[in-house]
Structure 1
Amino acid sequence: MGKELLGSLELNRIYQMDCLEGMKLIPNESIDLIVTDPPYTMTKRGKSCRPNWMPNNMGENVFDGKIPDTQSWMEQCYRVLKNETHFYTFCNINDITKYLQVAKDVGFKLHNIIAMIKDTGMPNRWYYKQTELVLFFRKGKAKPINDFTSRDNINVIMPKQSTGKIHITQKPYEFIEKLVTNSSKENEVVLDPFMGSATTAVASICNNRKWVGFEVDTNNIELANKRLEQIQLEDDLADYEK
């Protein structure tokens, strides 16, 4: 069976390249859903945070500081998405105003702001910070999510410990899976411009979606591909046992 292409790109593959360059290779209005967690820095007294549980192979920094231009990558997201589709992006409290304004400027409409509850509250003088924010946008006319019952139970506790984690900002699979299954159908194409640990790809594979993504960090890609290979191995063994 030949490899399936999206423009000049192979589907179901992580490309080691800047997403701004990678998305230029994707044809207009050819993507059914975008789920992504853009890079950001975590600082403590001006230094990068490195929790005690983080393995040495995750490195000292969350990101090298070269944050992609929000306007540029969101413009590409808008261009490649089909009409009447959804776009989810994680966002921290410092960037939420900018993300909302840029998304509006490029043409997205805000559906909702989803809060993912964490078990890692950061105490300060202005209450705990115990959520990860997800901005839920649409392109074109409103399209309802597939599972209306999940409107009240989308929140998932984000584990404090690193069980199964290969990336410092890795999100819970159950949460990403809900976004993928609620906003796409089987055999549709899901894009993640900032692939990281490949959770979006895993959720797509396990739910019969096609996918493509970009990542610049060599270590992230190596770990993500090992994760994807393990899923493929498990699928092969399941087929063998039938």
Structure 2
Amino acid sequence: MLTSKVKAPRNRTLTLTQADRQRYSSQLNTLSHTGSLDEVLDTTIHQDCRNAIAHLPTSSIDLLILDPPYNLRKDFNGKTFSRRSPTDYQSWVETWLEPLVQLLKPTASLYVCADWQSSTVIYPLLTRYFTVRNRITWEREKGRGAKANWKNASEDIWFCTVSEAYTFNVNAVKLKRRVIAPYRDRNGSPKDWQDTCKGRFRLTHPSNLWTDISIPFWSMPENTDHPTQKPEKLVAKLILASSSPGDVVLDPFLGSGTTSVVAKKLNRHYIGIESNEDYCCMAEKRLALADRDQRIQGYHENCFWERNSTPQA
């Protein structure tokens, strides 16, 4: 994460300097007791998630976003997560999933990210504690090819709720698509689409198949060196759909800070937990940048747009 390399002119990847580390490490939170919600709101907690969870106030979270390490060998800035048997991986998930339950409000929702293998292991646990309402599949438009298998180009997100009373703002997450077949009614007026100076578009209801997500890459200002960074656009969909302004969003596997950054841009409170100090500092750096720039790639004029279709301002 720390770097002194000179980047190419078009490379906008965020890096963490030693000066950044010294500046932002002093802003990190560590929990040693259960205090009030105000003590942890809008902070980055540098701590193992299981230790931090034990000190968070009960029934305080409106939306939980979980992006744990998948059951794969992966290097997270020098700390390796090793592949386990499905049984061992499920046991590990339950060590932090069960204590998270008491932190959620009765009206809370949660989203759990997974790949195709860990998804089948996590699902039975989710049915034990929550109502599973849907499985979102989103397309990763890049990835390594495979010579003897299908290229792995999708991931899952499980949508769950604590009860039958929950938030879902369908109008906040509609997708704006370009119209290919512009049907008109008998009077010649557009039928279920809008004719604008920027083109012909239709607002469509959100489905559980997402093909409009771009993985952060080197020319995007949100990109970091985190190996499994989720796009801000993806997290924005979850937050807008299942929370309201002023609600509290918790991410116990914060990584480089995407959930907290998007929550801040969308006027929600956030609590982020991350065990790696460099990633915590990167999250704080991104949060500081969000004070000056609240744009989210692919989200424009209160609509989500198809990949590469957002009109230029």
TM-score (norm 2): 0.62
Count matched residues: 217
Work out the CA distance in 1 between the residues paired with 2:167 and 2:40.
29
Unaligned runs of 5+ in 1: 50-57, 236-242
Work out the CA distance in 1 between the residues paired with 2:287 and 2:216.
24
In the other structure, the counterpart of 1:215 is 274
In the other structure, the counterpart of 1:91 is 114
After superposition, what is the alpha-carbon deviation per residue over 1:86-129, rounded to whole angstroms, capped at 9, x for unaligned?
10011122211221111222x21111111111112444444221
**Which aligned pairs between 1:59-78 and structure 2 lie closer than 5 A?**
59=77, 63-65=80-82, 69-78=92-101
Offset of 1:133 from its aligned partner?
Answer: 1.1
Aligned residue type for 1:161: F
In structure 2, relative to structure 1, the CA distance for the partners of 1:104 and 1:189 (3 Å cut) is same
Unaligned runs of 5+ in 2: 1-34, 84-88, 175-204, 295-313
For the pair 1:114 / 2:136, whether they are aligned, the reply is yes
Work out the CA distance in 1 between the residues paired with 2:36 and 2:269.
10
> By percentage of residues, which structure has more helix?
1
**Which aligned pairs between 1:1-242 and structure 2 lie closer than 5 A?**
6-7=36-37, 9-40=39-70, 42-43=72-73, 59=77, 63-65=80-82, 69-105=92-128, 107-124=129-146, 125-141=148-164, 143=166, 145-148=168-171, 149=174, 150-152=205-207, 155=210, 156-159=212-215, 161-162=217-218, 163=220, 164-166=222-224, 167-234=226-293
SS in 2 for 1:152: coil
After superposition, what is the alpha-carbon deviation per residue over 1:135-154, rounded to whole angstroms, capped at 9, x for unaligned?
11111115352025352387
In structure 2, relative to structure 1, the CA distance for the partners of 1:154 and 1:204 (3 Å cut) is farther
Identity of aligned residues (%): 26
TM-score (norm 1): 0.79
In structure 2, relative to structure 1, the CA distance for the partners of 1:60 and 1:215 (3 Å cut) is closer
In structure 2, relative to structure 1, the CA distance for the partners of 1:213 and 1:87 (3 Å cut) is same
8 A contact 1:215–1:221 mirrored in 2: yes
8 A contact 2:71–2:117 mirrored in 1: no
Structure 1 consecutive aligned stretches of length 4 or more whose deviation exceeds 6 Å? none
* Rg larger for: 2
In structure 2, relative to structure 1, the CA distance for the partners of 1:96 and 1:40 (3 Å cut) is closer
8 A contact 1:31–1:191 mirrored in 2: yes
Work out the CA distance in 2 between the residues paired with 1:131 and 1:30.
32
Offset of 1:158 from its aligned partner?
Answer: 2.9
